[in-house]
């Protein structure tokens, strides 16, 4: 694994998944760090470059980031009730989604609890029924948690044993970034862009890095493992994908990424 690019409470019945220390919200508001000088110029330039490269990707009116819809076969169809399946993926309501919201604050990823922000530490969840099918041994519990970022830069995170798929967070809507992340004491230790439902491009993952840097959350010491290809690479390969966009008249768009 190489260094290349670049919080949550469960549903009822699940325990907290993070070890946290409180921060007083009244004295420590979760507001973006004001960028000045060369730092602001670099961030503005990075955002401008991403928007130019993403100019053919969907960007809803008023959105801060370009979004990408989930794949029709590996996402939309997989989430729907099919023959032989007892139920579809449980999509979150806005109220449920707030339980999984992660807030960047003073360089740390935090979880809101009451009037406090608590730095996150993602924790593994044991699953005795989980197996690693490559060697038929019980799978090791992982502290990597799934994340998605929406069009406004809001981040949501949860363990796959609590949140079944990335699509659950935003109720099947397109995302600005998606993958897995490990966080210790609010600091990102590992991040990737692995999502079978969305399979985002590298440009979408870079949007996550831009958003976190705006709040002082840096990733240079994190172990970064991108799976997604750039849009130019996908165009060169010549493969097209049918993706789900709920606001599109036909619901689906076929594109080379």
Confidence (pTM): 0.71
Alpha-carbon distance of 225 to 192, in angstroms, equals 5
The answer to whether 118 and 22 have CB atoms below 8 angstroms apart is yes
SS (H, E, C) 69-137: CEEHHHHHHHHCCCCCCCCCCCCCCHHHHHCCEEEEECCEEEEEECCEEEECCECCCCCCCCEECCCCE
The answer to whether 44 and 122 have CB atoms below 8 angstroms apart is no
CA 205 to chain centre: 9
Grouping H, G, I as helix, E, B as strand and the rest as coil, residue 231 is helix
pLDDT tens for the chain, residues 1 to 257: 444 454 332 333 333 333 334 444 444 444 444 555 555 555 555 555 544 444 335 666 678 999 999 888 888 887 875 544 445 688 999 999 999 999 999 999 999 988 899 999 998 876 545 444 444 444 456 788 999 999 999 999 998 888 889 999 999 999 999 999 999 999 999 999 999 899 998 899 999 999 999 999 987 667 788 788 777 887 777 677 888 898 888 888 887 66
Measured on CA atoms in the order 76, 175, 66, 201, is the torsion positive or negative? Answer: negative
């Amino acid at each position: 694994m190489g260094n290349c690019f670049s919080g949550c409470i469960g549903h009822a019945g699940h325990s907290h998944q993070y070890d946290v220390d409180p921060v007083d919200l009244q004295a420590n508001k979760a507001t973006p760090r004001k960028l000045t000088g060369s730092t602001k110029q670099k961030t503005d330039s990075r955002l401008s470059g991403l928007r130019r490269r993403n100019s053919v990707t969907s960007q809803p009116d008023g959105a801060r980031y370009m979004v990408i819809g989930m794949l029709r076969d590996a996402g939309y169809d997989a989430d729907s009730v099919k023959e032989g399946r007892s139920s579809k993926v449980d999509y979150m309501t806005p109220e449920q989604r707030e339980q999984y919201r992660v807030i960047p604050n003073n360089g740390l990823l935090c979880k809101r609890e009451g009037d406090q922000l608590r730095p996150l530490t993602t924790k593994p969840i044991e699953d005795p029924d989980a197996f690693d099918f490559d060697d038929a041994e019980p799978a090791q519990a992982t502290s990597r948690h799934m994340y998605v970022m929406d069009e406004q830069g809001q981040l949501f995170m949860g363990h796959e044993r609590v949140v079944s798929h990335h699509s659950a967070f935003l109720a099947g809507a397109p995302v600005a970034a998606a993958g897995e992340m490990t966080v210790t004491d609010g600091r990102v230790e590992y991040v990737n862009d692995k999502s079978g439902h969305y399979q985002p491009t590298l440009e979408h993952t870079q949007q996550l890095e831009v958003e976190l840097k705006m709040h002082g959350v840096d990733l240079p010491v994190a172990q970064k493992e991108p799976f997604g290809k750039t849009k130019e690479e996908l165009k060169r390969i010549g493969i097209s994908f049918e993706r789900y966009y709920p606001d599109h008249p036909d619901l689906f768009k076929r594109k080379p990424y």
